[in-house]
Amino acid sequence: MSMSNRQPKQSMSELKLRRVTEHIQRLRDDLARPRVRVSEASMSLIRYTRSTKDPLLPTVWGPLPKNEDPFYQPQNTGCGCIVA
């Protein structure tokens, strides 16, 4: 076997090693990520939804006054036409 036939195999194994090393690093990053228990996260979500009014759910919170509604667009009194 000549030396030129071994070179591609060596580079292939280097590629595999690099992929495995990158994968291991991603797994370590995932392991280091802070975790929250599902029960704590769900209680936090429940507290948030009970304390934060959602203007898109008027059946739950009742209609919002127009000054508190972020989606309210005041009606223009004119026709909105521009004549140049």
Q: Residue 63 pLDDT more than 60?
A: yes
Task: Check if the beta carbon of residue 53 is closer than 8 Å to that of residue 64.
Answer: yes
Task: Check if the beta carbon of residue 70 is closer than 8 Å to that of residue 52.
Answer: no
Q: Is the pTM of this model over 0.75?
A: no
Tell me what pLDDT residue 22 has: 97
**C-alpha–C-alpha distance, residues 12 and 57, integer Å:** 58
* pLDDT greater at residue 63 or residue 36: 36
Q: Residue 6 pLDDT more than 80?
A: no
Q: Residue 40 pLDDT more than 70?
A: yes
